[in-house]
Amino acid sequence: MQLLTSILGFILLQVQQVPVPKDIPLPLPLPEWLLVFLLVVSFLVHILFINLMFGGTLLTLFFEILGYIKKNEEYDKLSLEIAKTTTVNKSMAVVMGVAPLLTINTLYTVYFYSANALTGLMWIMIIPLVTISFLLLYAHKYTYEILRNNKPLHISIVALAAALFLFIPLIFLTNVNLMIQPEKWLMVKGFLSALMLPNVWPRYFHFIFASLAVTGLFLFWWFSRKPYLYEESFKNLQKHDLQKRFYSITFFASVSQFLMGPIVLLTLPEKGITWTMILVILTGAAIALPALYYLWKEITGDEKLIGKKFPWIAGCLTVTVIFMGSGRHLYRAASLEGHQKLVKKKTEEYIKAVEEAQQEALHPKPDTSQKVLLSPGELVYANNCKACHDIHVKLVGPPFTEAAQIYKGNKPGLISWIKKPGKKREGPQMPAQDKLTNQELSDVADWILSLNK
């Protein structure tokens, strides 16, 4: 018996370690599948611009340093051209982040907000940190000329922005990781401890490589565009060399994902892993293979033909990203499924209890305990004055026996004071009781003055 109760106790203990809060008792504004669709799609658009902003800043920094070391002004120019795209992409990244933020708040209210609160200080630091990094990007972009002779300072500006950009994703990743693990909420004490949960760092490196892959491809297109008069801007830097360089960034980063991907998958808590999700992820990875093949062909191939397969490469990688984004959602949905059921049950029980209590309050049982019937004036006192006034002792305001003395034989004076009090003593001034009716005022004044006995 003793053993059985301890086992039972242990099991209950395990259950206890996962807090099950109540959800907001309002229906979803749209069908769930539609919200999921909006979440996945809008998040991918958002993260695309985040990738471009992040990767663009790193490459701006890289080429400016390269230009400084090699004393080649054209690299400097190249870094400015990339910086110009980054300041646009960063604005798109922010505005495109609002839709997925709204949608995840709606779909995963309990999980998202709980994770936010548990890492709250760092979560709100996103605002000043991103603001500062954006201001640094502008400061950098508009001082290429002014700081031409002070390159170390100019490089430091963008380096600081890049350093902030390297840190900020950790805040988001810590949150999206923590939100799907309610069983870890009790262990977390602030941001740093949540950061150290398994899976945050692998996902971080996965994000960095993805950013480089996307940015390489974007910049390839940007500098290869027909309307972009490349030859007018660059004389030494060969277009073909640059194209190969951007392609190589994408190639290297994508190949690295074949290493990072499995690490992310292996460090994921097992509870959300399903065959469907694995299948979706592997399909996505398989579709990236032809893209890698064409990338290699174009990098090593004929100078004139470079870019011919670009639509194929971009197309395949886009499909890969859509599969990865869907897999990511499948994992989240599966890992929260069980907990969501518990939350739903608890919410329903709570609503039922609320409704019962409301009914009870509407039809109170006749109260036999209240033997003393209050006079109308005393009732006004009990409902309106009692918070600050006692009959015999000073609380916030003076005792009513004192008021009765002061206004002895002066009922209108007492009423006008209640309606519009002045300030006589220490402590807060009495608020005007202008919601009382004339009858109530008269009743309460009569009652106060009746204390003069």
Partner 1 sequence: MDFPIFHLDFIGDRLLIAMIAILHVLINHGLAVGLVPIVAYMELIGLKHPEWDTLAYKIMFVGFIITTTVGALTGVGIWLSASLINPYSIGSLIRVFYGAWFVEWMVFVTEVILIMIYFLTWKKRKANQKPVDELITKGRHVMIGYFLAVFSWITMAIIVAILGFMMDPGNWNNDKQFWNGFANPMYVPQLTFRTFLAYTTGGVISLCLTMFFTKKDTEIRIKAVRFLSKWIFTFLPLTLIGGYWYYTMIPQGMTDNMSVALGTQQFQSYYDSLILILCGALGAVLVIVGVAYLYPKYTPHKLAFFIPVLLMFALLGYFERVREFIRKPYVIGGYMYSNAVRVSDYPLLNKDGILKHSSFVSTKKVTEENQVKAGKNVFLIACSRCHTTGGVNSLVTKFDDMYGNSGEPWNAGAMKAYISNMHMSRYFMPPFPGNDKEMEALIAYLKDLQFNPAPAEGAQTIGITTEQEITSTSNH
The Cα 133–Cα 140 span in angstroms is 10
Summarize the chain as % helix, strand, coil (round to 5): 75, 0, 25
Sole window of 75-83, 283-291, 329-337, 432-440 interacting with partner 1 (rule: CB under 8 A)? 432-440
Residue 433's contacts (CB-CB under 8 Å, 6 or more residues apart) are: 384, 418, 419, 441
Residue 394 φ then ψ, to 5°: -75, 125
Q: Is 453 in the site for partner 1 (CB under 8 A)?
A: no
How many whole angstroms from its chain centre is CA 168?
12
Q: Compare residues 27 and 152 and give the one whose CB is closer to partner 1.
A: 27
The Cα 179–Cα 175 span in angstroms is 6
* 105-144 residues near partner 1, rule: CB under 8 A: 105-106, 109-110, 112-114, 116-121, 123-124, 126-127, 130-131, 134-135, 138
Q: Is 169 in the site for partner 1 (CB under 8 A)?
A: no
* 21-40 residues near partner 1, rule: CB under 8 A: 21-22, 24-30
Q: Is 423 in the site for partner 1 (CB under 8 A)?
A: yes
Minimum CB separation of residue 385 from partner 1 in Å reads 7
Q: Is 387 in the site for partner 1 (CB under 8 A)?
A: yes
Give whole-number Cα distances, 397 to 322, 393, 431, in Å: 67, 9, 11
How many whole angstroms from its chain centre is CA 161?
21
Q: Is 400 in the site for partner 1 (CB under 8 A)?
A: no
The Cα 42–Cα 98 span in angstroms is 9
Q: Compare residues 137 and 449 and give the one whose CB is closer to partner 1.
A: 137
Q: Compare residues 105 and 276 and give the one whose CB is closer to partner 1.
A: 105
Sole window of 6-14, 255-263, 290-298, 368-376 interacting with partner 1 (rule: CB under 8 A)? 6-14
Q: Is 342 in the site for partner 1 (CB under 8 A)?
A: no
Binding mask 223-252 for partner 1 (x = CB under 8 A): ------------------------------
* 348-367 residues near partner 1, rule: CB under 8 A: 350, 353-354, 356-358, 360-361
Between CA 224 and CA 234, with CA 229 as vertex, the angle to 5 degrees is 90
Cβ atoms of 168 and 130 within 8 Å: the answer is: yes
Q: Is 431 in the site for partner 1 (CB under 8 A)?
A: yes
Q: Is 405 in the site for partner 1 (CB under 8 A)?
A: no
Burial class (CB in 10 A: 0-12, 13-18, 19+), 247: buried
Minimum CB separation of residue 354 from partner 1 in Å reads 5
Residue 374: DSSP 8-state: P
Q: Compare residues 188 and 288 and give the one whose CB is closer to partner 1.
A: 188
Alpha helices, DSSP H, located in 108-199: 109-118, 120-141, 151-179, 191-195
Give whole-number Cα distances, 192 to 120, 128, 197, 200, 312, in Å: 11, 19, 9, 11, 42
Among 49, 54, 185, 209, indicate the residue that binds partner 1 (CB under 8 A). Answer: 185
Q: Compare residues 148 and 352 and give the one whose CB is closer to partner 1.
A: 352
Please give the structure tokens belonging to residue 364. Answer: 């109170």
Cβ atoms of 204 and 48 within 8 Å: the answer is: no
3-state secondary structure of 316: helix
Q: Is 396 in the site for partner 1 (CB under 8 A)?
A: yes
Minimum CB separation of residue 103 from partner 1 in Å reads 8
* 65-94 residues near partner 1, rule: CB under 8 A: 88, 91-92, 94
Q: Compare residues 95 and 406 and give the one whose CB is closer to partner 1.
A: 95
Q: How many residues bind partner 1 (CB under 8 A)?
A: 88
State the amino acid at position 9 in one-letter form: G
Q: How far apart are the first and last CA of the chain?
A: 70
Q: Is 374 in the site for partner 1 (CB under 8 A)?
A: no
Q: Is 192 in the site for partner 1 (CB under 8 A)?
A: no
The Cα 424–Cα 85 span in angstroms is 67
Q: Is 419 in the site for partner 1 (CB under 8 A)?
A: no
Binding mask 146-165 for partner 1 (x = CB under 8 A): --------------------
Q: Compare residues 304 and 423 and give the one whose CB is closer to partner 1.
A: 423
User: Which residue's structure tokens are 């600081």?
Assistant: 160
Q: Compare residues 24 and 266 and give the one whose CB is closer to partner 1.
A: 24
Sole window of 68-76, 184-192, 290-298, 365-373 interacting with partner 1 (rule: CB under 8 A)? 184-192
